[in-house]
Structure 1
Amino acid sequence: MAQPPHYPADVLARAANIRLIGFDVDGTLTDGGLLFGSDGHEQKCFHVQDGLGLVLLRHAGIATALVSARNSAVTAARGRELKIPHLHIGETRKLDCIRKLAAESGLSMDAVAFMGDDLPDLATLRAVGLAIVPADAHAWVMPAAHWVTPRTAGHGAARDACDLLLHAQDRVQAILQHGEHP
């Protein structure tokens, strides 16, 4: 079996306690590019490994949320396809949303992680137990991160975050023994 990635001890300790993780979408689950057809319909590109990572978290009992300020039918469709239990599309008050989800789940903010990439995510990144940003996050939010993913947004960064949680919570061996995704 391949060696797990090296994670700092403090990051692993934080990740071991996470029961809910929220993800910004544009610039986190996508590369941040927005494509509009001539008919005005929006298109986005999502990485399949990120999607599988979110599914693996669900099967490991870690709740997931998409929290996006953009009101996007494409994002909503992707969230439904992945069976994300908490879809908050058009949510401009991300920190309030994450606090409410934590409270409804009976969780302290130390048991919550969030992955974001730019200023609309900064307050949330500062408030959670584990703040994650993709490798290409804006420089202004980097200092708020407990961990920076090795990959960039829309190119597997969210999967890196999922894998971190799965490693920290000793779930990887069971997934590998199963031999296929759930």
Structure 2
Amino acid sequence: MLITSQLTNIARCIRLLILDVDGVLTNGAVTLCSNGEDIKSFHSHDGHGIRAIQDAGIAVAIISGRTSQAVSLRMNELGVEHVYQGQKDKTIAFQRLLSHYQITPNEVAYMGDDIPDLAVMTQVALPIAVANAVTTVKQRIPWHTENPGGSGAVREVCDLLLQTHANKPSSQKQEHHLD
């Protein structure tokens, strides 16, 4: 991702990172077992990034169109409390998160890869498309990761947020973590 002064200034204000799952935290492949459960593969770098930004006071939430036990297990491991799955209209979960954290869309980053993500991506301050996002999303969203989903794209954004928050003037730093 090309780091510009505009991107840096926006990233400094982010208090919540919302992630789609399929195509963002995973490579987008859906593998189903004979019992109907799906298998997901998550990159360890993304997990370390998620933990690091949570430790820095930036909240992380999931909004996914699909429902998966694997996602619940992984997010539990990472301490991600707000996991919205089976969301056909992602804006409903988005509004709940804004209300819960008492923040505005100007304090939110959203990573997505497909058309269902656009409804939220077009409302937040920092919408980011992963490198393997569909063309329509890439055309409408100004910031793109260098890495594809499932291969460190989330870590790329976490590192950006950590870097910009570490370089915040003292008067802009948050004193308390989001709950």
Relative to the length of structure 2, the TM-score reads 0.89
Give the C-alpha shift of residue 65 in structure 1: 0.2
Could you tell me how far 1:91 is from its partner in structure 2?
A: 1.6
Helix, strand or coil: the match of 1:140?
helix
Question: Which residue, out of 77, 81, 99, partners 1:81?
Answer: 77
- Counterpart for residue 128 of structure 2: 132
- Mapped to 1, the partners of 2:42 and 2:65 lie a distance apart of 17
Give 1:123's aligned amino acid: A
Paired residue for 1:180? Answer: none
In 1, distance between residues paired with 2:124 and 2:140? Answer: 10
Percent identity reads: 37
Shift of 1:164: 1.0
User: How far 1:21 sits from its partner (Å)?
Assistant: 0.9
2:10 is aligned with what amino acid? R
Write out the 4+ residue segments of structure 1 that deviate beyond 6 Å after TM superposition: none
Structure 1 segment 41-52 matched on structure 2, within 5 A: 41-52=37-48
Q: 1:105 and 2:67 equivalent? A: no
**Structure 1 unaligned spans of 5+:** 172-182
Which sections of structure 2, spanning at least 5 residues, go unmatched?
168-179
Given that residues 114 and 133 in structure 2 are in contact (C-alpha distance below 8 angstroms), is that contact kept between their aligned partners in structure 1?
A: yes
Matched, 1:36 2:32: yes
| 1:40 to partner: Cα distance | 2.8
Once residues 104 and 39 of structure 1 are traced to their aligned partners in structure 2, the CA distance between those partners, rounded to angstroms, is: 36
CA RMSD of aligned residues (A): 1.4
Q: Distance in 1 between matches of 2:89 and 2:63?
A: 9
Indicate which of 108, 114, 117 corresponds to 2:110.
114
CA distance in 1, matches of 2:159, 2:95: 24
Deviations 1:121-161, CA, capped at 9 Å, x for gaps? 01111000100111110010113323111101100001111
